[in-house]
């Protein structure tokens, strides 16, 4: 059976991901953040002093994708990278004062995005949960 892209789940997900990134851009641009930087900042703001591996697991990004992003964020003064005290192979990440201040300034972003969707918060939570379940079925998180 041949389906038109508009009838394919994969296309709906792909095109929605692009729309989500486009919707976030004007919310993050005044803060000087890209979408991936925003995700890192949000994660570290919730749980500071993570390893690169822990962060990569949460964001489902490989270290070769994360490392250049983290270096740019460190150069901007938002986070610091340091070697683990017990295991020097581990790189630990923590927000700087500037990073925490930026995270504070970014706290309104989720609400602003939710308002852009025009959907009730309960629908957004349900959608998030359905998409996370689909993602986890297709590609479980690394243990």
Residues 92-128 have pLDDT tens digits of 999 999 999 999 999 999 999 999 999 999 999 999 9
Split at pLDDT 50, 70, 90, the class of 88 is confident
The C-alpha atoms of residue 136 and residue 141 are separated, in whole angstroms, by 7
Q: Supply the pLDDT for residue 67.
A: 92
Give the pLDDT score at 86: 75
Q: Are 60 and 104 in contact (CB under 8 A)?
A: no
Percent of the chain with pLDDT over 90: 85
> By C-alpha distance, which of 9, 63, 18, 16 is closest to 40?
63
Pick 33-138's CATH classification: 1.10.10.10, 3.40.190.10, 3.20.20.70, 1.10.240.10.
1.10.10.10
Q: For the chain, which residues make up each domain, given as ranges?
A: 33-138
pLDDT value for 143: 58
């Amino acid at each position: 059976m041949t389906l038109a892209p508009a009838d394919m789940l994969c296309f709906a997900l792909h095109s929605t991901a692009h729309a989500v990134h486009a919707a976030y851009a004007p919310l993050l641009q005044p803060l000087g953040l890209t979408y991936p930087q925003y995700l890192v900042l949000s994660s570290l703001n919730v749980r500071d002093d993570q390893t690169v591996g822990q962060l990569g697991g949460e964001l489902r990004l490989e270290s070769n994708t994360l490392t250049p992003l983290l270096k740019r964020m460190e150069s901007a003064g938002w986070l610091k990278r340091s070697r683990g005290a017990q295991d020097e192979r581990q790189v630990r990440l923590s927000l700087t004062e500037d990073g925490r201040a930026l995270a504070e300034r970014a706290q309104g972003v989720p609400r602003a995005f939710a308002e852009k969707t025009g959907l009730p918060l309960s629908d957004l939570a349900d959608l998030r949960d359905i998409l996370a379940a689909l993602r986890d079925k297709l590609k479980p998180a690394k243990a």
